[in-house]
C-alpha cells in the first residue's frame, strides 16, 4: 500500500525541475518523512527519502547514509540525496555553517543567545521567546 503511494508520489509531474520533492504524508519529530513498507515480507517503518532513493536510483550501501544536499529533511528528490558515510554527513551538517535555525529564523548577532555561543552551541532567541510565550499562555489557561 505505502509503496504504491510512494510510486505515485515519484510519478507525480512537477513544474520546477530543481525544486525539492516534499513528502506530503507523515513526518517524524525530526522532520524526515516516514512510512511503513513491506520489505522481504516484513512490515517495517522507515524514512521515505531512503525508499524513494532505492526505488529510483540504487540501493544505499550498508555503511552509508543519505545526505540531503538541499538541507531539507522533508525532501525526497533523488538528485538532492547523496550516499555518504555517517562521519561525512555529520561534518556537512556542522551548525556553524547553518544560516537559519530549525524553524527558519535567520541567525544574526541579534537573534543568537550569547550564553549558548560561549558553550559552543547556537540557540535562536526568536524560538526561545516563542516557547516562553506559549508556556505563559498555557499557564494562563490552566489557572
Domain spans of the chain? 1-93, 96-143
30 close to 93: Cβ distance less than 8 angstroms: no
Q: What is the pLDDT of residue 1?
A: 47
111 close to 56: Cβ distance less than 8 angstroms: no
Ordered per-residue pLDDT tens for the chain, 143 residues: 456 777 777 777 776 778 888 888 888 888 888 887 776 777 777 888 998 898 888 899 989 999 998 888 889 999 999 999 998 888 777 656 677 887 888 888 888 888 766 666 778 899 999 999 999 999 999 88
pTM: 0.60
Phi and psi at residue 17, to the nearest 5°: -70, -25
∠74-76-81 over CA atoms, to 5°?
Answer: 105
| DSSP characters over the chain | -HHHHHHHHHH---S-TTS--B--S-B-TTS-BEEEEEETTEEEEEEHHHHHHHHHT-PPPTTEEEEETT--TTB--GGGEEEEEHHHHHHHT-GGG-SB-TTSPBP-TTTB-HHHHHTT---BHHHHHHHHHHHHHHHHHH-
Look up cell 513528502; give the residue. 23
**What class does CATH assign to 1-93?**
alpha beta
Which residues have CB under 8 Å from 64's CB, separation 6+? 83, 84, 85
Amino acid at each position: 500500500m505505502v509503496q504504491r503511494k510512494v510510486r505515485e508520489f515519484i510519478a507525480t509531474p512537477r513544474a520546477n525541475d530543481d525544486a525539492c520533492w516534499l513528502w506530503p504524508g507523515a513526518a517524524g519529530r525530526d522532520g524526515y518523512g516516514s512510512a511503513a513498507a513491506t520489505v522481504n515480507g516484513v512490515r517495517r517503518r522507515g524514512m521515505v527519502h531512503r525508499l524513494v532513493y532505492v526505488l529510483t536510483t540504487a540501493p544505499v550501501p550498508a555503511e552509508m547514509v543519505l545526505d540531503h544536499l538541499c538541507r531539507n529533511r522533508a525532501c525526497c528528490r533523488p538528485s538532492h540525496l547523496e550516499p555518504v558515510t555517517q562521519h561525512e554527513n555529520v561534518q556537512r551538517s556542522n551548525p556553524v555553517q547553518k544560516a537559519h535555525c530549525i524553524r527558519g529564523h535567520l541567525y544574526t548577532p541579534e537573534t543568537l543567545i550569547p550564553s549558548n555561543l560561549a558553550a559552543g552551541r547556537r540557540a535562536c532567541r526568536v524560538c526561545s521567546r516563542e516557547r516562553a510565550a506559549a508556556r505563559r499562555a498555557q499557564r494562563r489557561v490552566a489557572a
